[in-house]
Amino acid sequence: MPQQMWRPSCHCNPGIYSMGSPNCRDCGQPGQYDGWHQGMHEAMAAYTKRTGLAPIGPHRRLTDELFAGRFGLCRTCEGRGVLDAEGGRTWKVCTDCQGLCCFFRGTMREFQEIRARILEQFPKAAAASFESDEKLRRYCADQGQEDGEKGLWIVRKLLAPEAEIRCVFYTLAVRNEALKKKWRGGLSDYWSKYNTIHNASLTVSCFKGPYWDDQYGELTGFGLVEGKDFILFDASNVTTMKDFEPFRFRVDWLAGYVHKAGMMIFLRH
């Protein structure tokens, strides 16, 4: 069931950006209250409800690739699916997304085409009795534009939703176009050799420490140029920034915004 979460304010466990207790279990330092969040079972049910697919299974890799960046977080619950109620003493299902957490950004036809491609390869991944809710899926396109929300609305409209990738810790982001032209073996070889997250435009690797030397060296060895073809940055250096605040990179081909102690990035077109 849903549970309350806190963001750690210490550096005892760099790999953890959310905890289920008010204080760090190592040093006892109080964390920052982050509201109620869905539990594992609610999150799995929400995944099935918005995609019509099983939440686990061999289809997930293809599903994540094809749906990458196509879902936008519900702005009311910030992707949690639940809201604080009674002053935080309990929770309630988000009144806008109905627990979906996010909405598909696109047309019904686009959604059906992506889902059909997945089911063509993995027919057993289909959820029984699934019917996509057009009203809920399209809700984010018309979601509140009151004056108090204008800044957030502008940020969400300017971002390229088809190419958002979540980054945490030290991040190495490479343009796929450069990898296709310069990396010996092409994109698939680079993806299989290193632990990457990728979509049609961008490939990303995240590191918990300064362990990128070999990967960086191979990139430059194949002729890729830092700044032009790839960039290395610290995605966790956003502690003083607010969620959805735009982040300015030192290159003009990359953009992104802050989200839950990390970043969502995309390639500018």
Nearest in space to 228 (alpha carbons), one of 249, 255, 252: 252
- At residue 15, the pLDDT reads 62
Q: Are 250 and 227 in contact (CB under 8 A)?
A: yes
202: alpha, beta or left, given left = phi > 0 and alpha = psi -120 to 50?
beta
- At residue 201, the pLDDT reads 85
Q: Give the integer Cα–Cα distance in Å for 263 and 170.
A: 11
- At residue 180, the pLDDT reads 93
- At residue 258, the pLDDT reads 84
Rg (the chain; Cα; Å): 20
- At residue 160, the pLDDT reads 34
- At residue 103, the pLDDT reads 83
∠ at Cα 244 (112, 22), nearest 5°?
A: 105
- At residue 152, the pLDDT reads 29
- At residue 133, the pLDDT reads 53
pLDDT tens digits, one per residue of 222-231: 999 999 999 9
| SS3 of residue 190 by DSSP | helix
pLDDT < 50 positions in the chain: 134-162
